[in-house]
């Protein structure tokens, strides 16, 4: 993979150079000392992947990510020395199109091999995502079984899947939903477990509904937004509780929207409104189709408002969505469907 480094620190840049050079599968294409240089270099020679710092002179990583994704889109991994200290910028960058975030590793006797391995692992995962898309399988339902009939007393479940550009998209969808919403909301966002608590806290400050990290064994709760906090897949158990699973191990999306959507077919007996938002890849498309074929309402974000039109496009290609809507209309549409019952 051809990789560009965007970092104003000479020491951090050298660390990243040495780590990337340790792999025969990667090549350093160029280095930029700030976001403005990166925007210009991307117009000249576009890399497969950018390792983007956040705090830089002239132009920070958030603005650079926004401009690059608008003009010369490519995969972007945020690499920053203080992930927790820059939490709001992390989520802004991910909302602008960054795929993931990782702490800047250090080398030497105090360096952490785990941090170095984590960076290489995320680079490899992104390589699979942009170079080896998932198979276009479209299962009708989990294990071919039909779901049990609806129970009137079960609340409506709003299931949302998102990836690249997700944080800001989630804010736009959740903001119109009222505090007395007669439905539960569960979100699957492709994100490292280290940052999901920060995402929940950040979203909680943006929207009326309370947002919390879910614990294994909980049930979806009306008037609450729940987000998983693990690198494992989120699943709905047959008794209607939420749990985590390492299977399927060959699915490199973590947590996977497809795995969650398909588990709902056997595990949730109430009405489901499933929404697939902006994201790179195809995760969520087959699960959305399975839910549509079970009679649930399915929505995909449109191309014009998607930061990356990958996941929603995959859903559109297999007719998985009943409706394809611009981002600013999805929240109001969800509310109208909940009220209609």
Domains detected in the chain: 2-131 (3.40.50.2300), 142-340 (3.40.50.180)
Residue 88, pLDDT score: 83
Q: Return the pLDDT at 4.
A: 97
The band of 252, judged by pLDDT with boundaries at 50, 70 and 90, is low
Q: Is 291 helix (H, G, I), strand (E, B) or coil?
A: helix
Q: Model confidence over 99-156: pLDDT tens digits?
A: 988 888 876 544 567 788 889 988 988 888 887 343 333 333 334 444 445 444 678 9
Q: Specify the pLDDT at position 76.
A: 96
- Taking residues 41-54, what's their average pLDDT? 96
Full-model pTM: 0.80
The whole-chain average pLDDT of the chain stands at 88
Q: Is 40 annotated as catalytic?
A: no
Percent of the chain residues past pLDDT 70, beyond the cut? 90
| pLDDT above 80: residue 280 | yes
Contact 322, 292 (CB under 8 A): yes
Please give the pLDDT value at position 147: 47
Of residues 162, 212, 153, 165, the one with CA closest to residue 65: 165
Task: Work out the percent of the chain whose per-residue pLDDT is above 90.
Answer: 67
Average pLDDT over residues 31-41: 97
- CA triple 237-168-334, angle to 5 deg: 55
Taking residue 269's Cβ as centre, other Cβ atoms within 10 Å add up to 18
Model pLDDT, residue 109: 42
Q: Is 26 a catalytic residue?
A: no
- From the candidates 48, 100, 283, 302, give the one annotated as an active-site residue: 283
Identified catalytic residue from 190, 269, 296, 297: 190
State yes or no: is 254 an active-site residue. Answer: no
């Amino acid at each position: 993979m051809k990789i560009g480094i965007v970092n104003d620190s000479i020491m951090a840049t050298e660390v990243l150079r040495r780590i990337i050079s340790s792999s025969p599968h990667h090549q350093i294409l160029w280095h930029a000392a700030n976001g403005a240089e990166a925007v210009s270099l991307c117009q000249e020679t576009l890399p497969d992947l950018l390792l983007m710092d956040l705090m830089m002179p002239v132009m920070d990583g958030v603005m650079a990510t926004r401009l690059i994704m608008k003009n010369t889109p490519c995969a972007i991994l945020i690499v920053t020395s203080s992930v927790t200290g820059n939490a709001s910028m992390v989520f802004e960058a991910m909302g602008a199109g960054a795929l993931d975030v990782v702490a800047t590793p250090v080398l030497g006797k105090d360096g952490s091999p785990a941090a170095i391995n984590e960076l290489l692992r995320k680079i490899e995962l992104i390589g699979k995502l942009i170079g080896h898309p998932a198979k276009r399988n479209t299962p009708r339902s989990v294990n071919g079984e039909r779901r049990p009939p609806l129970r009137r007393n079960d609340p409506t479940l709003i299931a949302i899947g998102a990836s690249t550009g997700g944080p800001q998209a989630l804010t736009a969808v959740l903001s119109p939903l009222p505090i007395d919403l007669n439905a539960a909301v569960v979100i699957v966002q492709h994100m490292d477990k280290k940052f999901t608590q920060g995402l929940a806290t950040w979203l909680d400050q943006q929207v009326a509904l309370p947002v919390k990290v879910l614990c294994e064994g909980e049930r979806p709760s009306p008037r609450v937004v729940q987000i998983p906090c693990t690198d494992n897949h989120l699943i709905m158990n047959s008794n209607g509780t939420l749990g985590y699973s390492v299977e399927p191990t060959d699915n490199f999306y973590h947590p996977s929207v497809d795995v969650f959507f398909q588990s709902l077919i056997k595990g949730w007996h109430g009405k489901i409104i499933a929404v697939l938002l902006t994201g790179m890849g195809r995760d969520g498309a087959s699960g959305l189709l399975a839910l549509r074929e079970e009679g649930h309402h399915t929505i995909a974000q449109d191309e014009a408002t998607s930061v990356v039109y990958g996941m929603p496009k995959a859903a559109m290609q297999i007719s998985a969505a009943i409706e394809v809507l611009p981002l600013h209309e999805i929240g109001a549409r969800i509310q109208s469907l909940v009220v209609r019952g």
